[in-house]
Amino acid sequence: MDRIKGFNPFTSIGSSALTVFIAAVVLFLINRAIFETTVLVQTLAKALGLGAVYAIVALGFVLIFKATQVVNFAQGGLAMVGALFLSFLAVDEHIPFTTIQNPLIGIGPSWFGWGLSVLVALVFAALLGLVIERIVIRPMIGQPLFSVAIITLGMEAFLRTFANDSVRVQLRPLGIPWGTGGFTLGGTVGDNGITTGGAFVAWSYVAAVITAAVAFVAVFLFYRSRMGVAMRAVAFDQEAAMANGINVGLVFAIAWAAGAVLATIGGIYATQPPIAQTGAVQIETQFIAFRTLPAVILGGLDSVQGALVGGLIIGLAEISAGQYLSQFSGQLGAGYPLIVPYVVMIIGLLVRPYGIFGTPEVRRV
Protein backbone atom coordinates (compact mmCIF):
# COMPACT_ATOMS: atom_id res chain seq x y z
CA MET A 1 0.00 0.00 0.00
CA ASP A 2 1.04 3.60 -0.36
CA ARG A 3 3.11 5.06 2.41
CA ILE A 4 0.89 7.14 4.72
CA LYS A 5 1.94 10.76 5.00
CA GLY A 6 1.96 12.13 8.51
CA PHE A 7 2.94 15.35 10.17
CA ASN A 8 6.63 16.03 9.64
CA PRO A 9 7.97 18.48 12.25
CA PHE A 10 11.10 19.11 10.20
CA THR A 11 9.04 20.17 7.20
CA SER A 12 6.94 22.45 9.39
CA ILE A 13 10.01 24.03 10.96
CA GLY A 14 11.63 24.37 7.55
CA SER A 15 8.55 26.08 6.10
CA SER A 16 8.43 28.57 8.96
CA ALA A 17 12.16 29.26 8.70
CA LEU A 18 11.89 29.76 4.95
CA THR A 19 8.94 32.15 5.32
CA VAL A 20 10.78 34.24 7.90
CA PHE A 21 13.95 34.20 5.80
CA ILE A 22 12.16 35.34 2.61
CA ALA A 23 10.31 38.11 4.47
CA ALA A 24 13.56 39.35 6.01
CA VAL A 25 15.33 39.32 2.63
CA VAL A 26 12.50 41.23 0.93
CA LEU A 27 12.42 43.89 3.64
CA PHE A 28 16.18 44.24 3.55
CA LEU A 29 16.27 44.61 -0.26
CA ILE A 30 13.55 47.27 -0.11
CA ASN A 31 15.63 49.15 2.46
CA ARG A 32 18.76 48.89 0.30
CA ALA A 33 16.84 49.96 -2.81
CA ILE A 34 15.84 53.15 -1.03
CA PHE A 35 19.11 54.05 0.66
CA GLU A 36 21.83 52.32 -1.43
CA THR A 37 20.44 51.96 -4.93
CA THR A 38 23.83 51.84 -6.66
CA VAL A 39 25.17 49.09 -4.39
CA LEU A 40 21.96 47.09 -4.81
CA VAL A 41 22.09 47.32 -8.62
CA GLN A 42 25.72 46.26 -8.68
CA THR A 43 25.00 43.39 -6.29
CA LEU A 44 22.05 42.15 -8.35
CA ALA A 45 24.09 42.33 -11.57
CA LYS A 46 26.89 40.34 -9.98
CA ALA A 47 24.40 37.83 -8.56
CA LEU A 48 22.79 37.36 -11.99
CA GLY A 49 26.20 36.71 -13.53
CA LEU A 50 27.13 34.14 -10.90
CA GLY A 51 23.68 32.56 -10.91
CA ALA A 52 23.81 32.20 -14.69
CA VAL A 53 27.10 30.29 -14.49
CA TYR A 54 25.71 28.02 -11.77
CA ALA A 55 22.60 27.45 -13.89
CA ILE A 56 24.69 26.42 -16.92
CA VAL A 57 26.73 23.88 -14.94
CA ALA A 58 23.61 22.69 -13.10
CA LEU A 59 21.90 22.04 -16.43
CA GLY A 60 24.74 19.68 -17.34
CA PHE A 61 24.23 17.78 -14.08
CA VAL A 62 20.48 17.57 -14.72
CA LEU A 63 20.71 16.31 -18.31
CA ILE A 64 23.02 13.46 -17.33
CA PHE A 65 20.98 12.60 -14.24
CA LYS A 66 17.68 12.59 -16.15
CA ALA A 67 19.08 10.17 -18.72
CA THR A 68 21.17 7.89 -16.48
CA GLN A 69 19.91 8.51 -12.90
CA VAL A 70 23.55 9.11 -11.93
CA VAL A 71 25.09 12.24 -10.42
CA ASN A 72 28.15 12.97 -12.58
CA PHE A 73 30.94 13.84 -10.17
CA ALA A 74 33.30 14.28 -13.14
CA GLN A 75 31.72 17.62 -14.13
CA GLY A 76 34.50 19.62 -12.46
CA GLY A 77 37.21 17.73 -14.32
CA LEU A 78 35.35 18.11 -17.61
CA ALA A 79 35.00 21.86 -16.98
CA MET A 80 38.71 22.31 -16.36
CA VAL A 81 39.90 20.11 -19.24
CA GLY A 82 37.53 21.82 -21.69
CA ALA A 83 38.77 25.26 -20.63
CA LEU A 84 42.36 24.04 -21.00
CA PHE A 85 41.65 22.90 -24.54
CA LEU A 86 40.43 26.41 -25.35
CA SER A 87 43.64 27.84 -23.88
CA PHE A 88 45.74 25.63 -26.14
CA LEU A 89 43.73 26.68 -29.19
CA ALA A 90 43.27 30.39 -28.57
CA VAL A 91 46.46 31.38 -26.72
CA ASP A 92 49.10 28.84 -27.72
CA GLU A 93 47.52 28.88 -31.19
CA HIS A 94 48.09 25.22 -31.93
CA ILE A 95 46.14 21.97 -31.75
CA PRO A 96 46.64 20.45 -28.27
CA PHE A 97 49.36 17.80 -27.96
CA THR A 98 50.63 18.62 -31.47
CA THR A 99 52.71 21.28 -33.21
CA ILE A 100 50.00 21.92 -35.80
CA GLN A 101 49.09 25.60 -36.01
CA ASN A 102 45.50 26.50 -35.20
CA PRO A 103 44.11 27.52 -38.62
CA LEU A 104 41.28 29.52 -37.03
CA ILE A 105 43.61 32.18 -35.63
CA GLY A 106 43.90 35.09 -38.03
CA ILE A 107 40.47 34.61 -39.60
CA GLY A 108 38.79 38.01 -39.42
CA PRO A 109 38.98 40.09 -36.22
CA SER A 110 40.70 38.56 -33.21
CA TRP A 111 37.40 38.01 -31.39
CA PHE A 112 36.06 36.04 -34.38
CA GLY A 113 38.97 33.61 -34.37
CA TRP A 114 38.58 33.25 -30.62
CA GLY A 115 34.87 32.50 -31.02
CA LEU A 116 35.62 29.79 -33.59
CA SER A 117 38.17 28.32 -31.19
CA VAL A 118 35.47 28.18 -28.51
CA LEU A 119 33.25 26.17 -30.86
CA VAL A 120 36.10 23.74 -31.55
CA ALA A 121 36.72 23.42 -27.79
CA LEU A 122 33.04 22.61 -27.25
CA VAL A 123 33.20 19.95 -29.99
CA PHE A 124 36.23 18.47 -28.24
CA ALA A 125 34.30 18.47 -24.95
CA ALA A 126 31.38 16.68 -26.61
CA LEU A 127 33.73 14.04 -28.03
CA LEU A 128 35.35 13.58 -24.62
CA GLY A 129 31.90 13.11 -23.10
CA LEU A 130 31.07 10.53 -25.76
CA VAL A 131 34.29 8.62 -25.12
CA ILE A 132 33.71 8.54 -21.36
CA GLU A 133 30.11 7.39 -21.84
CA ARG A 134 31.04 4.67 -24.36
CA ILE A 135 34.06 3.25 -22.56
CA VAL A 136 33.18 3.75 -18.90
CA ILE A 137 29.44 4.34 -18.47
CA ARG A 138 27.68 2.17 -21.05
CA PRO A 139 29.20 -1.13 -19.85
CA MET A 140 27.67 -0.32 -16.44
CA ILE A 141 24.07 -0.22 -17.72
CA GLY A 142 21.98 -2.33 -15.37
CA GLN A 143 24.58 -2.22 -12.60
CA PRO A 144 24.03 -0.51 -9.20
CA LEU A 145 23.84 3.26 -9.57
CA PHE A 146 26.19 3.70 -6.62
CA SER A 147 28.93 1.89 -8.54
CA VAL A 148 28.41 4.12 -11.58
CA ALA A 149 28.58 7.25 -9.40
CA ILE A 150 31.88 6.04 -7.89
CA ILE A 151 33.23 5.52 -11.41
CA THR A 152 32.42 9.14 -12.28
CA LEU A 153 34.26 10.15 -9.10
CA GLY A 154 37.27 8.18 -10.35
CA MET A 155 37.04 9.97 -13.70
CA GLU A 156 37.00 13.27 -11.80
CA ALA A 157 40.27 12.34 -10.07
CA PHE A 158 41.85 11.32 -13.40
CA LEU A 159 40.81 14.48 -15.27
CA ARG A 160 41.62 16.74 -12.32
CA THR A 161 45.14 15.32 -11.97
CA PHE A 162 45.84 15.86 -15.66
CA ALA A 163 44.47 19.41 -15.58
CA ASN A 164 46.20 20.37 -12.33
CA ASP A 165 49.58 19.33 -13.70
CA SER A 166 48.99 21.73 -16.62
CA VAL A 167 48.38 24.79 -14.43
CA ARG A 168 50.26 24.07 -11.22
CA VAL A 169 53.37 26.01 -12.28
CA GLN A 170 51.78 28.59 -14.58
CA LEU A 171 48.17 29.63 -15.06
CA ARG A 172 46.68 29.05 -18.52
CA PRO A 173 45.07 32.25 -19.91
CA LEU A 174 42.06 31.92 -22.22
CA GLY A 175 42.48 35.16 -24.15
CA ILE A 176 38.84 36.15 -23.57
CA PRO A 177 38.21 39.31 -25.65
CA TRP A 178 36.26 41.29 -23.04
CA GLY A 179 38.71 40.50 -20.21
CA THR A 180 37.64 42.03 -16.89
CA GLY A 181 36.13 45.13 -18.51
CA GLY A 182 32.57 46.34 -18.21
CA PHE A 183 30.37 49.40 -18.14
CA THR A 184 28.85 51.71 -15.53
CA LEU A 185 25.14 52.22 -14.87
CA GLY A 186 24.26 55.65 -13.54
CA GLY A 187 26.93 57.78 -11.94
CA THR A 188 28.25 61.20 -12.88
CA VAL A 189 30.40 62.01 -15.90
CA GLY A 190 33.18 64.43 -15.01
CA ASP A 191 34.90 67.01 -17.20
CA ASN A 192 37.58 64.43 -17.98
CA GLY A 193 34.95 62.05 -19.38
CA ILE A 194 35.34 59.54 -16.53
CA THR A 195 32.15 58.22 -14.92
CA THR A 196 32.17 58.01 -11.12
CA GLY A 197 29.69 56.78 -8.54
CA GLY A 198 27.74 54.37 -10.74
CA ALA A 199 27.15 50.62 -10.55
CA PHE A 200 29.85 48.66 -12.39
CA VAL A 201 28.64 45.73 -14.49
CA ALA A 202 31.29 43.43 -15.96
CA TRP A 203 30.86 42.21 -19.51
CA SER A 204 31.35 38.68 -18.20
CA TYR A 205 28.06 39.03 -16.26
CA VAL A 206 26.23 39.95 -19.46
CA ALA A 207 27.90 37.17 -21.46
CA ALA A 208 27.04 34.56 -18.80
CA VAL A 209 23.37 35.60 -18.69
CA ILE A 210 23.09 35.51 -22.50
CA THR A 211 24.82 32.12 -22.67
CA ALA A 212 22.52 30.69 -19.99
CA ALA A 213 19.47 31.98 -21.86
CA VAL A 214 20.65 30.38 -25.11
CA ALA A 215 21.44 27.08 -23.35
CA PHE A 216 18.03 26.81 -21.71
CA VAL A 217 16.16 27.77 -24.89
CA ALA A 218 18.17 25.15 -26.79
CA VAL A 219 17.28 22.47 -24.22
CA PHE A 220 13.63 23.59 -24.25
CA LEU A 221 13.49 23.14 -28.04
CA PHE A 222 15.48 19.89 -27.92
CA TYR A 223 13.00 18.28 -25.53
CA ARG A 224 10.29 18.88 -28.11
CA SER A 225 12.22 17.07 -30.82
CA ARG A 226 11.98 13.32 -31.49
CA MET A 227 15.22 12.62 -29.65
CA GLY A 228 14.15 14.89 -26.81
CA VAL A 229 10.95 12.91 -26.37
CA ALA A 230 13.04 9.73 -26.34
CA MET A 231 15.29 11.21 -23.64
CA ARG A 232 12.28 12.12 -21.51
CA ALA A 233 10.96 8.58 -21.94
CA VAL A 234 14.29 7.12 -20.82
CA ALA A 235 14.31 9.48 -17.83
CA PHE A 236 10.84 8.25 -16.87
CA ASP A 237 11.48 4.50 -17.25
CA GLN A 238 14.56 3.02 -18.93
CA GLU A 239 13.19 -0.50 -19.20
CA ALA A 240 9.90 0.64 -20.72
CA ALA A 241 11.80 2.87 -23.17
CA MET A 242 13.96 -0.07 -24.30
CA ALA A 243 10.84 -2.22 -24.70
CA ASN A 244 9.42 0.42 -27.03
CA GLY A 245 12.50 0.39 -29.26
CA ILE A 246 14.25 3.50 -27.93
CA ASN A 247 18.03 3.35 -28.22
CA VAL A 248 18.96 3.98 -24.59
CA GLY A 249 22.68 3.90 -25.39
CA LEU A 250 22.25 6.76 -27.87
CA VAL A 251 20.29 8.76 -25.31
CA PHE A 252 23.07 8.21 -22.77
CA ALA A 253 25.66 9.35 -25.31
CA ILE A 254 23.78 12.56 -26.16
CA ALA A 255 23.27 13.36 -22.48
CA TRP A 256 26.97 12.93 -21.71
CA ALA A 257 28.04 14.95 -24.74
CA ALA A 258 25.68 17.80 -23.76
CA GLY A 259 26.76 17.59 -20.12
CA ALA A 260 30.43 17.86 -21.10
CA VAL A 261 29.73 20.87 -23.34
CA LEU A 262 27.87 22.66 -20.54
CA ALA A 263 30.64 21.81 -18.08
CA THR A 264 33.21 23.35 -20.45
CA ILE A 265 31.17 26.53 -20.77
CA GLY A 266 31.01 26.69 -17.00
CA GLY A 267 34.77 26.15 -16.82
CA ILE A 268 35.37 29.06 -19.19
CA TYR A 269 33.18 31.41 -17.15
CA ALA A 270 34.78 30.14 -13.92
CA THR A 271 37.90 32.07 -14.96
CA GLN A 272 35.92 35.33 -15.16
CA PRO A 273 34.30 37.73 -12.68
CA PRO A 274 32.51 37.26 -10.37
CA ILE A 275 34.09 33.84 -9.80
CA ALA A 276 37.73 34.70 -10.60
CA GLN A 277 39.65 37.72 -11.85
CA THR A 278 42.57 36.03 -13.59
CA GLY A 279 40.97 35.16 -16.91
CA ALA A 280 43.03 31.97 -16.78
CA VAL A 281 42.54 28.32 -15.91
CA GLN A 282 43.82 27.56 -12.42
CA ILE A 283 43.46 24.78 -9.88
CA GLU A 284 40.34 26.45 -8.41
CA THR A 285 38.56 26.23 -11.81
CA GLN A 286 37.62 22.61 -11.15
CA PHE A 287 35.63 23.59 -8.05
CA ILE A 288 32.91 25.25 -10.16
CA ALA A 289 31.06 21.91 -10.23
CA PHE A 290 31.06 21.45 -6.47
CA ARG A 291 30.09 25.09 -5.95
CA THR A 292 27.13 24.38 -8.23
CA LEU A 293 25.86 21.36 -6.27
CA PRO A 294 23.68 23.42 -3.88
CA ALA A 295 21.91 24.90 -6.92
CA VAL A 296 21.39 21.43 -8.42
CA ILE A 297 20.03 19.95 -5.20
CA LEU A 298 17.88 22.97 -4.35
CA GLY A 299 16.30 23.14 -7.81
CA GLY A 300 15.82 19.40 -8.15
CA LEU A 301 18.23 16.89 -9.67
CA ASP A 302 15.83 15.90 -12.44
CA SER A 303 14.45 19.35 -13.29
CA VAL A 304 15.66 21.62 -16.08
CA GLN A 305 13.72 24.60 -14.76
CA GLY A 306 15.04 23.74 -11.31
CA ALA A 307 18.60 24.14 -12.61
CA LEU A 308 17.79 27.68 -13.71
CA VAL A 309 15.88 28.72 -10.59
CA GLY A 310 18.32 26.99 -8.24
CA GLY A 311 21.30 28.63 -9.92
CA LEU A 312 19.80 32.10 -9.66
CA ILE A 313 18.76 31.63 -6.01
CA ILE A 314 22.17 30.33 -4.95
CA GLY A 315 23.96 33.04 -6.92
CA LEU A 316 21.84 35.74 -5.26
CA ALA A 317 22.37 34.26 -1.79
CA GLU A 318 26.14 33.97 -2.18
CA ILE A 319 26.73 37.44 -3.62
CA SER A 320 24.30 39.17 -1.25
CA ALA A 321 25.95 37.55 1.74
CA GLY A 322 29.37 38.62 0.52
CA GLN A 323 28.18 42.20 0.02
CA TYR A 324 25.97 42.84 3.02
CA LEU A 325 27.60 40.66 5.70
CA SER A 326 31.18 41.69 4.99
CA GLN A 327 31.33 43.71 8.22
CA PHE A 328 30.94 40.44 10.13
CA SER A 329 33.75 38.61 8.30
CA GLY A 330 35.83 38.67 11.48
CA GLN A 331 33.21 36.55 13.24
CA LEU A 332 32.06 34.49 10.25
CA GLY A 333 35.44 33.88 8.62
CA ALA A 334 36.80 34.94 5.25
CA GLY A 335 35.11 32.14 3.31
CA TYR A 336 31.62 32.55 4.74
CA PRO A 337 29.96 33.46 1.36
CA LEU A 338 30.77 29.94 0.12
CA ILE A 339 28.95 28.45 3.13
CA VAL A 340 25.73 30.43 2.58
CA PRO A 341 24.63 28.37 -0.48
CA TYR A 342 24.69 25.20 1.62
CA VAL A 343 22.65 26.85 4.36
CA VAL A 344 20.06 27.90 1.77
CA MET A 345 20.11 24.38 0.30
CA ILE A 346 19.48 22.79 3.72
CA ILE A 347 16.56 25.12 4.46
CA GLY A 348 15.10 24.39 1.02
CA LEU A 349 15.42 20.63 1.48
CA LEU A 350 13.68 20.82 4.86
CA VAL A 351 10.69 22.26 3.00
CA ARG A 352 10.94 20.23 -0.22
CA PRO A 353 13.17 17.16 0.21
CA TYR A 354 13.32 16.55 -3.56
CA GLY A 355 14.11 20.15 -4.48
CA ILE A 356 11.88 22.98 -5.63
CA PHE A 357 10.99 21.32 -8.93
CA GLY A 358 12.23 17.79 -8.20
CA THR A 359 10.00 14.78 -8.72
CA PRO A 360 9.08 13.02 -5.45
CA GLU A 361 9.51 9.27 -5.48
CA VAL A 362 6.41 7.17 -4.84
CA ARG A 363 7.30 4.25 -2.56
CA ARG A 364 5.07 1.21 -2.20
CA VAL A 365 5.28 -1.59 0.34
- Domain at 297, CATH number: 1.10.3470
State how far Cα 347 lies from the chain centre. Answer: 21
Q: Is the pTM of this model over 0.85?
A: yes
Select the more confidently predicted residue: 39 or 307: 307
Considering the domain boundaries, does residue 364 fall inside one? no
Confidence band for 2, pLDDT divided at 50, 70 and 90: very low
Considering the domain boundaries, does residue 221 fall inside one? yes
C-alpha 45/C-alpha 5 separation (Å) is: 42
Is pLDDT at 341 greater than 70 in this prediction? yes
Average pLDDT for 76-85: 94
Considering the domain boundaries, does residue 359 fall inside one? no
Considering the domain boundaries, does residue 64 fall inside one? yes
Is pLDDT at 311 greater than 60 in this prediction? yes
Considering the domain boundaries, does residue 201 fall inside one? yes
Considering the domain boundaries, does residue 189 fall inside one? no
Considering the domain boundaries, does residue 138 fall inside one? yes
Per-residue pLDDT at 184: 86
Is pLDDT at 3 greater than 50 in this prediction? no
Confidence band for 7, pLDDT divided at 50, 70 and 90: very low
Confidence band for 37, pLDDT divided at 50, 70 and 90: confident
- Which residues are CB-contacts of 142 (< 8 A; sequence separation ≥ 6)? none
Is pLDDT at 14 greater than 90 in this prediction? no
Per-residue pLDDT at 29: 67
Number of domains within the chain: 1
Average pLDDT for 246-265: 92
Q: Residue 139: which domain range?
A: 9-184+195-351
Confidence band for 159, pLDDT divided at 50, 70 and 90: very high
Considering the domain boundaries, does residue 284 fall inside one? yes
